[in-house]
């Protein structure tokens, strides 16, 4: 169980969150850039001390500003995968991993590090320096290094950033594997659709506050079912089409802007399914269909408004 509760001012942003991950579960932390995701992870790891906060992990208190407890980062048993990997450039892949394996004889550290790299398909790259590795390989070395001390808690900051689709798939599989191995994992990403592939649960952070949390499926439904605006150019049949859409309950609001229908709908999928048949029935010709608000930013805006509407 990892529980992070923090209030901290960061320039213009007031971070005020409480996040909990059950032991052996994986939680995704989604939200746009600048929402405070990295700061939250840094607070959990002990790299950033909030003005006010509590961090507990599996019964241990790592931070309690009320009682003046602040376990230093090097003593928190928690692996951290940094956004730009933060591999030591002067060390080879195995040496990067072995850096975490203190207190063992050198030869044993090498063996252990190489074994770990092999488990993650990096056996052949043990002697390579970070700058000769591909982005995906660097990411995996960073994960292996973070796991070397067998931490119970693993934090990953934007692990999919800067990777191509194939590498993304590898890293997603890797993260799912980490979750299934019984570690408590908190992973951040600014790309919502990717989050659901990484973790069964998600919390959404916007402007330093949680605006949504739940099973990734539920969040996906919430996003899918949000009211949407669709612009439909249907020429002369526009009036008839509008009347029919409202009649069937597919549109909650319609107006005509410069000859183009602007339809507000609560169920964009149903509208998509029914639009063609209805247009055929009323004799309207569909010239152009343009759904608005499909970008991530409007999704986050919607989630923020939705949270406000629920009185959070």
Partner 1 sequence: MTRAAWFPVLLGLCLALALTFLTLPVVAIFVDSSPGELISSLGEEGALDALWLSLKCTAASIAIILLVGTPAAYLLATRSFRGRALVVTLIELPLVLPPAVAGIALLAAVGPEGILGGAIEAAGIQLSFATAGVVVALTFVSSPFYVRQAMAAFAAVDRSLLDASRTLGASEARGFLRVMIPVAIPGLAAGTALALGRALGEFGATLMFAGSFRGITQTVPLAIYDRFSTDFQSALALSAVLVAVSAAILLAVKLVRGGEALGVAPR
- Give me the sign of the Cα torsion angle 197, 303, 160, 114: negative
Instruction: Indicate whether 78 belongs to the interface with partner 1 (CB under 8 A).
Output: yes
One of 11, 59, 68, 72 touching partner 1 (CB under 8 A): 72
Per CB under 8 A, does 102 bind partner 1? yes
Residue whose structure tokens are 């010239």? 287
d(CA 22, CA 1): 4
Site string for partner 1, 141-180 (x = CB under 8 A): ----xx-xx-------------------------------
For partner 1, give the closer residue by CB, 43 or 204.
Answer: 43
The residue whose two tokens read 């759904």 is 291
CB of 97 to partner 1, least distance (A): 9
Q: Which is nearer to partner 1, 99 or 220 (CB)?
A: 99
Pick the closer one to partner 1 by CB: 102 or 310.
Answer: 102
The answer to whether residue 50 forms part of the interface with partner 1 (CB under 8 A) is no
Comparison of 53 and 79: residue with beta carbon closer to partner 1: 79
Sheet with 52-57, side-by-side order of all strands: 13-21, 2-10, 52-57, 60-64, 69-70
Query: Beta strand pairing status for 2-10 and 13-21?
Result: antiparallel
Residue 130 φ/ψ region, left for φ over 0, alpha for ψ in the -120 to 50 degree band, beta for the rest: alpha
Question: Does 90 participate in binding partner 1 (rule CB under 8 A)?
Answer: yes
Distance CA 79, CA 134 (A): 22
Residue closer to partner 1 by CB (options 10, 260) is 10
* Cα dihedral 208, 214, 217, 222 sign: negative
260 binds partner 1 (CB under 8 A): no
Question: Is residue 84 involved in binding partner 1 (CB under 8 A)?
Answer: yes
Q: Is 82 a binder of partner 1 (CB under 8 A)?
A: yes
Tell whether residue 59 is a contact of partner 1 (CB under 8 A): no
302, 293 contact by CB (below 8 A):
yes
Nearer to partner 1, 148 or 251 (CB): 148
Asked whether 6 and 43 are in contact (CB, 8 A), the reply is yes
Per CB under 8 A, the list member of 99, 176, 237, 274 interacting with partner 1 is: 99
Please tell me whether residue 46 binds partner 1 under the rule CB under 8 A: yes
**Residue nearer to partner 1 on the CB measure, 131 or 310:** 131
End-to-end alpha carbon distance in the chain: 24
Q: Identify the residue among 11, 59, 68, 74 touching partner 1 (CB under 8 A).
A: 74
Q: C-alpha distances in angstroms, 16 versus 3, 10, 205, 300?
A: 14, 11, 10, 17
Residue 19's beta-bridge partner residues? Answer: 4
How many whole angstroms separate alpha carbon 307 and alpha carbon 312?
6
The only residue of 49, 110, 112, 129 in contact with partner 1, by rule CB under 8 A: 129
Q: CB under 8 A: which stretch of 29-37, 59-67, 95-103, 159-167 binds partner 1? A: 95-103
Indicate whether 307 belongs to the interface with partner 1 (CB under 8 A).
Answer: no
d(CA 53, CA 16): 9
Q: How big is the chain, counted in residues?
A: 312
Taking CB under 8 A as the rule, does residue 71 contact partner 1?
A: no
- From 54-62, 94-102, 164-172, 279-287, span contacting partner 1 (CB under 8 A): 94-102
Nearest partner of 215 among 198, 197, 202, judged by Cα: 202
Binding site residues, partner 1, CB under 8 A = 42, 45-47, 72-76, 78-80, 82-84, 86-90, 99-100, 102, 129, 131, 145-146, 148-149
């Amino acid at each position: 169980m990892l529980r992070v509760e923090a209030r901290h001012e960061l320039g213009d942003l007031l971070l005020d969150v409480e996040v909990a991950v059950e032991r052996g579960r994986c939680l995704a932390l989604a939200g746009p850039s600048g929402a405070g995701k990295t700061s939250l992870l840094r607070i959990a790891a002990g790299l950033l001390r909030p003005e006010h906060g509590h961090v507990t992990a599996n019964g241990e208190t790592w931070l309690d500003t009320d009682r003046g407890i602040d376990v230093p980062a090097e003593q928190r048993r928690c692996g951290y995968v940094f956004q730009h990997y933060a591999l030591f450039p002067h060390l080879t892949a195995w040496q990067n991993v072995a850096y975490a394996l203190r207190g063992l004889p050198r030869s044993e550290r090498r063996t252990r590090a190489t074994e770990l790299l092999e488990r993650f398909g990096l056996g052949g790259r043990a002697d390579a320096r970070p700058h000769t590795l591909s982005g995906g390989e660097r990411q995996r070395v960073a994960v292996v290094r973070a796991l070397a001390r067998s931490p119970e808690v693993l934090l990953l900051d934007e692990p999919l950033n800067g990777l191509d689709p194939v590498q993304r798939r590898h890293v997603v599989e890797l993260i799912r594997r980490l979750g299934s191995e019984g570690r408590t994992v908190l992973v951040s990403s600014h790309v919502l659709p990717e989050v659901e592939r990484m973790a069964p649960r998600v919390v959404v952070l916007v402007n330093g506050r949680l605006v949504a949390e739940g099973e990734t499926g539920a969040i996906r439904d919430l996003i899918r079912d949000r009211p949407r605006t669709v612009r439909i150019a249907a020429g002369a049949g526009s009036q008839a089409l509008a009347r029919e859409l409202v009649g069937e309950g597919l549109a909650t609001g319609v107006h005509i802007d410069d000859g183009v229908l602007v339809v507000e709908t609560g169920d964009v999928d149903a509208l998509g399914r029914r639009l063609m048949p209805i247009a055929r029935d009323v004799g309207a010709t569909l010239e152009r269909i343009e759904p608005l608000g499909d970008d991530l930013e409007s999704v986050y805006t919607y989630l923020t408004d939705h949270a406000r509407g629920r009185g959070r």
